[in-house]
Amino acid sequence: MSDKMREEFEASVLSEYPNQNMGKFATGEYQSTTIEHCWWAWKKSREVLVIELPDEDGMQGHLWAPDVVAAMEAAGVKVKS
């Protein structure tokens, strides 16, 4: 789990519920049981999402830049090349 993924989750929650308590315990778990369950579901939704990158021929000779793959993985998306 990346910090970027948690930041996206928290921004999403706060965009819908701006007064939501996003406090966390020292363990990293959210103080709100509801938010902790939502966080669990958010992570699980990302775990099952896998993007299969086309091979070099499918990209017409272009290689996937490492920073593109790293950005997808930082967002919690698995990349299969």
- The answer to whether residues 46 and 77 touch, using CB atoms and an 8 Å cutoff, is yes
pLDDT of residue 59: 58
Span 46-68, pLDDT tens digits = 888 888 777 666 555 456 677 88
- The answer to whether residues 35 and 20 touch, using CB atoms and an 8 Å cutoff, is yes
pTM for the full model?
0.67
Question: Quick count: other Cβ atoms within 10 Å of Cβ 37?
Answer: 11
pLDDT of residue 56: 62
Domain ranges of the chain: 1-48, 49-81
- Burial class of 50 by CB neighbour count within 10 A (0 to 12, 13 to 18, 19+): exposed
Span 8-47, pLDDT tens digits = 999 999 999 999 999 999 999 999 999 999 999 999 988 8
